Amino acid sequence: FTSFLHLTGTSEEVAPPLQQNFMIPKKEINMVSDMAKWKRSQAYADYMGFILTLNEGVRGKKLTCEYKVSEPIEKLVALLNTLDRWIDETPPVDQPSRFGNKAFRTWYAKLDQEAEKLVATVIPKHLADAAPEVAVYLKESVGNSTRIDYGTGHEAAFAAFLCCLCKIGVLRVDDQMAIVFKVFNRYLEVMRKLQKTYRMEPAGSQGVWGLDDFQFLPFIWGSSQLIDHPNLEPRHFVDEKVVNENHKDFMFLECILFITEMKTGPFAEHSNQLWNISAVPSWSKVNQGLIRMYKAECLEKFPVIQHFKFGSLLPIQPVTS
């Protein structure tokens, strides 16, 4: 994924000259046979390169460590704070069914309307033309307003949103840690609040065989954070005391804490896959296994990828390099 680092340029560079015709991203994967196109695409290569670059960037680092926070990072956090505030302003409505509160549709309509303006606050004036393209990924990243559900495909749209901001030079190589620890972590907090407030359904849940009902990436990056930790081993994350004492430092444990808050009964029963992972001897093995699992269970599954959208920044065209 050095090609990805090369592509985003170094922090010394001035914004790259863009001879780019931005476009509104659209669906390209309409049937199972189209999946081969996706796996060969520039979009897949760049998306995976982005995920792996960040995976290396946070290796062995705590959420609470020191890192550079650039202006675009601050602006992205402010954008997410706005989404959070809108949840407070849109309380759930009384309705007969327990799940899928219809107030989510009101909340979503606001984002749908404001997304381009929100994105325009993050990108510099000379890149204003990119806002409509990039905003599509933001709108796709919060769940589906018809079904009132949320899953790993929505999470992937948020990673794609951040990837696009790297490709146009708004985010840089030295923003890596802040992308995960500040922006993505804030995104997770807002998504958890959405999931709880509007009782969202898991999208395409594999039930007990999935890793988690809603997220996947924080387990990848979170396991990377724990590589070579002097005393926390994978077997420790099922220990409540360990989780309570360390969750503020490690994304992986924050995820475990959220699961145990939301689910009842023995951990081994409600989160079987995670229970199995706790038996893996090292965090680097966990990390490698999760990357393989992410490709197989999310990126190579038609029900997830059929919703992914392709534009000029994440093109469906085959890899050129």
Where residue 198 falls among pLDDT bands split at 50, 70, 90? Answer: very high
Q: For position 209, what pLDDT does the model report?
A: 58
Q: What is the pLDDT of residues 277-302, one digit of tens each?
A: 999 999 999 999 999 999 999 999 99
Task: Tell me the mean pLDDT in the region 118-146.
Answer: 97
What are residue 72's phi and psi, to 5 degrees? -60, -35
Q: Classify 182 as helix, strand or coil.
A: helix
Give 40-86 pLDDT, tens digit per residue: 999 999 999 999 999 999 999 999 999 999 999 999 999 999 999 99
Q: Which of 8, 33, 45 is nearest to 310 (CA)?
A: 45
Q: What is the pLDDT of residues 251-267, one digit of tens each?
A: 999 999 999 998 899 99
User: Alpha-carbon Rg of the chain, whole angstroms?
Assistant: 19
Neighbouring CB atoms inside 10 A of 294's CB total 20
Sign of CA dihedral 21, 111, 207, 285: positive
Is 0.75 topped by the overall pTM?
Answer: yes
Compute the distance between CA of residue 247 and CA of residue 91 in angstroms, rounded to an integer.
28
Instruction: Outline which parts of the chain fall under CATH 1.20.120.1150.
Output: 207-295
Mean pLDDT of 85-109: 96
- Report the run of H or E that residue 309 belongs to, with start and end: strand 309-310
pLDDT of residue 320: 80
> What is the C-alpha to C-alpha distance for residues 136 and 91, in angstroms, rounded to an integer?
25
pLDDT tens-digit map of 14-37? 445 455 799 999 999 999 999 999
- CATH number given to 207-295: 1.20.120.1150
